[in-house]
Amino acid sequence: MPCRGVRFPFAFLVGVLLELATGCMGMAQAQGTGPTPLLPPPPDSLLLLSFRARRVGVSTYAQQTDLRGGARVTPNQNLSYRLLSEWLYDERGRPSFVREDYLTHMLHTLRLGRGWQVGQLLHYEQSRANATRSGAWLARLGYQHRLRPLGAADTLSTARYVLFGGLGYDARNGRQDLGPSYGLEVTTLVYPDRTSTQPVALRLYGTRSNLGPRIWQRSIAEGFYERTFDAYSTGALRLGYRSNRAEDYVPGNVQRIQSDTVATQLTWAYRLADRVSFRSDNSLVLPSRAFLYRRLTAEADTVQNLRYRQRELDTRQEVRMSSRKLQFMLSFNYRERNRSYALDNNRSLSPALLEKATAREQVKDITEKTTLWQSELTWLPHPRHALTLLGSAQLLRVDTPSRENEQDRDEAQHLLRLTWVGRWAGAFRTTLALGAEYRQFVFIKAAQSGENYTDRLLHWEPGFTWAPGRFSLKSTYHLWVSYQVRDRASEQLKNRASRVLEQQQNLSYQLSPRRLLTLDYVRRENRIGLLNWARFRESPLDTTITHDLLGGVRQGWSGRRGQSSLRLGYRFLEQRTHGRAALLHDGSSPTLIYLRNVTRQHGPDLAYERQTNQGFVLTASLWLQQLRTFYRYREGQGLYAGTSYTPAELARQTHNLYPYFEVAVNWRVGSWRR
């Protein structure tokens, strides 16, 4: 990495392993790192390395190194591990880093026979940006057995138990806590009868870490069952409960975030006829969260406890019909979300003060209801042609019980889209899409009615592909127009009209079996103007035009050990922003100018790729970019009140050289059978 003062990731990872070996354990287990279920020993030993480094911006760099693997030490011993480092740096900052995270995870298991298994889990995490370190060392004891040992016909119904315990460690906010960490996991697969092909899956999991004044706790109970009733219908049921208790330090207090969620999902699929099917997906989720506080010392002032409850309902009904020339789909989707807040009187407030504080929190109470209809019809008049009509209608209603909350609103959206795809002789294919959208945004309360608007959008998307022999040409266009009109007459100066035209041209020519010539061009133009809807006229306000051109030649090689390719090219990127501004002369009034802000980036573009038969893949690219920014303007007539510039500012230019690079390595270092 080119960042100054950056250590190589493997050096730190080795240091982490030494620190763990000397007893620096953590509590990442209690924060959600559950024990790996008992699995049969892997037949192979495997080591995978993934590395990626790239320049994100002018002064920002990113890097990720991921090393994971597994080894079969003996016929009864297995070891799996993962080492991860992830950086995001901005060299202009002080300190220079933005994010710097490390992760180490190791699991060692030993089979004792008759279904018993022992092992140990080592986990460590560090985040330099948050100044936190956490980890755990956990001993494991597992047992697996058949649930119906006397039924010779049922050899698949099994139960697995994992009991684990050890030490957890967590350091944050200048405090270091160490304490016991333990838990239990039970997993079962039960086949109800001899004719069942789908089992009932059940899982129970719980873990707890006592770290000084803090407690981390997590519980999970979930089950899933799917059954095929007959040749026409299938149903599935999923039930789940999750509870998570996380505690952290705040000034003078320990903050406890208690999250509890009950969820259920019911799915039913039914085939009404040979070409007609029906599917129903329904889910209900009941999450709740509480923010609770307790004093670290008797003299500290505690924080007000806050909690909320939520209900999320989602149902989707879908009908599909298909024939040789027609395909039709109709779906109905309804979603509802309700959230309500409440307070605990942990600060011994008087009834009047508690009611006042509760009313302030209940301003955030909200109900959202979304209704969505969707339909799609595809007609195949000829084997080479297809015509598709897509339509949707959606209504979102937001209601807030509090009179002080002014966010009550309705949002309606209607969409109609027609697409035609045709294939012709000579490897020629054409596409054409036409679309229209209508959106309406209405606040219910008068205080926000000035924001009400109606948006009308039109889409036009033609394109074609021509690939005769060695030559290939793909061309696509997309033009969408938007007219946003405010409802109130006093807000008409906020009406906007926007036009976006985007085109892409991709050309390639196969010079030889291993040499390819490519040329890619992208142009995007975005025009924004002030709209007079009554007269249907617009005045331009701002225009941005972007050109992106990349051309090059790619050469490939192949041999006994693998394949390689090298691309040499040149890339040119230009962005021009057109607008109005004021020019300030000495001692005179600001005059109108038509200003262009130009940014140009261009330079050679190189890319290399190597892939071997042993599982090694390397990709590297470099854009040696020369960046230049400058202004161009033309004087107009009259005065202008707005952004102003002096002649010296408009004559200023910048020249910089930025090498944008990206390197990615994926290496299957070893895969062998003992």
Question: If DSSP states are collapsed to H, E and C, what string results for 435-460?
Answer: EEEEEEEEECCHHHHHHCEEEEEEEE
The more confidently predicted of residues 477 and 614 is: 477
Mean pLDDT over 368-372 rounds to: 98
Residue 520 identity: D
The pLDDT, as a whole number, for residue 7 is 34
pLDDT tens digits, one per residue of 551-599: 999 999 998 889 999 999 999 999 999 999 999 887 678 889 999 999 9
Q: How confident is the model at residue 464 (pLDDT cuts 50, 70, 90)?
A: very high
How far is Cα 567 from Cα 610, in angstroms, rounded to an integer?
12
CA atoms of 111 and 117, how far apart (whole Å): 4
Cross-strand bridge partners of residue 1: none
Please report where in the chains the tokens 């006592």 appear, as a residue. 210
Q: Total structural domains in the chain?
A: 1
Range of weakest confidence among 89-98, 242-251, 331-340, 636-645: 89-98
Report yes or no on 386 lying in a domain.
Answer: no
Instruction: Answer whether residue 174 is part of any domain.
Output: no
d(CA 583, CA 633): 10
Q: Residue 25 domain-assigned?
A: no
Range of the domain at 649: 560-673
CA atoms of 369 and 333, how far apart (whole Å): 11
Q: Structure tokens of 327?
A: 């395909």
Secondary structure E strands in 323-384: 326-343, 366-382
pLDDT in tens, 82-98: 999 999 988 887 777 78
d(Cα 31, Cα 124) in Å, to the nearest integer?
12
Percent of the chain with pLDDT over 90: 73
Q: Is residue 35 pLDDT above 60, yes or no?
A: no
How confident is the model over 115-165, as pLDDT tens digits?
Answer: 999 999 999 999 988 889 999 999 999 999 988 765 556 678 899 999 999
Mean pLDDT for the chain overall? 89
pLDDT of residue 239: 97
Top-confidence residue, 20 or 367: 367
69-103 in b/e burial notation, b at 16+ Cβ within 10 A? bbbbeeeeebebbbbbbbbbbbbeeeeebbebbbb
The whole-angstrom separation of Cα 621 and Cα 607 is 4
Assess if residue 567 is contained within a domain: yes
481 pLDDT above the threshold of 70: yes
For tokens 């089950």, what's the residue?
223
Which range (237-251, 379-393, 584-598) has the least confidence?
584-598
Asked, for residue 512, whether it belongs to a domain, the answer is no
| Position 286 pLDDT exceeds 60 | yes
pLDDT number for residue 670: 65
Is 641 a domain residue? yes
Sign of the torsion angle spanned by Cα atoms 149, 154, 155, 159: negative
pLDDT tier for residue 173 given thresholds of 50, 70 and 90: confident
Within a domain: 381? no
The average pLDDT across 33-38 equals 38
Give, as one character, the DSSP assignment of residue 303: P
Tokens of 501: 């035209």
Tokens of 269: 């699929």
Cα distance between residue 159 and residue 654, in whole Å: 69
The pLDDT of residue 151: 58
- The whole-number pLDDT of residue 22 equals 34
**Helices vs strands, H then E, count in the chain:** 3, 29
Sequence-distant (≥ 6) Cβ neighbours of residue 257 within 8 angstroms: 244, 245, 246, 247, 248, 289, 290, 291
pLDDT exceeding 70 applies to what percent of the chain?
91
pLDDT at residue 274 greater than cutoff 50: yes
- pLDDT for position 152: 59
**Position 310 pLDDT exceeds 90:** yes
Q: Is residue 604 part of a domain?
A: yes
